[in-house]
Chain A
Amino acid sequence: GAGVSQSPSNKVTEKGKDVELRCDPISGHTALYWYRQSLGQGLEFLIYFQGNSAPDKSGLPSDRFSAERTGGSVSTLTIQRTQQEDSAVYLCASSLLATSKNIQYFGAGTRLSVL
């Protein structure tokens, strides 16, 4: 596509429910990144994919968080048993290659609210 697409744009859920956030990267981009932006905070790196593999999962805040990428394209970030502190904007970015000289292009984000 023309840009990074994230869905849904807004998600309201009840505490304890599972949620899935989707990211569709720019066509041809092999690297995909997930970040979390909490209210008043900067961006917190969660995980990145090179192709379908995730070399670095160290940013995932707990084992309730997982992510997968299939076909080297779409990625899904899953949060199980959501907690109120999971409320944040989840941003996805993609780049041509997973090197710093390849610029990351960001989607508009998914705003997650856990009631």
Chain B
Amino acid sequence: AQSVTQPDIHITVSEGASLELRCNYSYGATPYLFWYVQSPGQGLQLLLKYFSGDTLVQGIKGFEAEFKRSQSSFNLRKPSVHWSDAAEYFCAVTRNYGQNFVFGPGTRLSVLP
């Protein structure tokens, strides 16, 4: 069965520091990959998505992610974190239909001033 792992439950970085959130997936074929962000008390907002083509994708709020087929990974990066980036980040995969939309457990990001 398909699965998504996010090895880091909680990450703390200083404002202005770089960030990388890890996502690994187990899937029978090349999946469609997504990163969502959830601020406290809010719904999920799509940061970026990968379907095919260029393996480095750009998203909103200065985020980017790189798909590495050989490592089954889709890590999220940001060169300089802002205090407003503190939130929960979810990686998700799917292939065909919405019912197979599988989310990882999430990584909580804290930002120190």
Find residues 71-106 in chain A having any chain B CB closer than 8 Å to their own CB.
91, 93, 95, 98-101, 103-106
- Smallest beta-carbon distance A43→chain B, Å: 4
Closest to A42 in B: B105
Bound-state CA distance A35–B97 (Å) is 15
Q: Establish whether residues B102 and A45, one from each chain, have CB atoms under 8 Å apart when the complex forms.
A: yes
Find residues 59-113 in chain B having any chain A CB closer than 8 Å to their own CB.
90, 92, 94-106
Closest to B42 in A: A108
Q: Establish whether residues A101 and B32, one from each chain, have CB atoms under 8 Å apart when the complex forms.
A: yes
A-B pairs with CB below 8 Å: how many?
62
Q: How large is the interface on B (under 10, 10 to 19, 20 to 34, 35 or more residues)?
A: 20 to 34
Q: A55-B99, A101-B32 are in contact. Are A43 and B51 (CB under 8 A)?
A: no
Contacts of B36 in A (CB 8 A): 106
Find residues 15-51 in chain B having any chain A CB closer than 8 Å to their own CB.
32, 36, 41-46, 49, 51
Q: Establish whether residues B99 and A43, one from each chain, have CB atoms under 8 Å apart when the complex forms.
A: no
Q: A45-B101, A56-B99, A59-B99 are in contact. Are A100 and B44 (CB under 8 A)?
A: no
Q: Establish whether residues A31 and B98, one from each chain, have CB atoms under 8 Å apart when the complex forms.
A: yes
Contacts of A56 in B (CB 8 A): 97, 99
Bound-state CA distance A76–B73 (Å) is 36
Contacts of A101 in B (CB 8 A): 32, 51
Q: Establish whether residues B98 and A33, one from each chain, have CB atoms under 8 Å apart when the complex forms.
A: yes
Contacts of A31 in B (CB 8 A): 98
Bound-state CA distance A105–B36 (Å) is 10
21 A–B contact pairs at CB < 8 A?
Answer: A35-B103, A41-B105, A42-B104, A42-B105, A43-B44, A43-B90, A43-B103, A48-B99, A55-B97, A93-B44, A95-B98, A98-B97, A100-B32, A100-B97, A103-B46, A103-B49, A104-B98, A104-B101, A106-B36, A107-B43, A109-B43
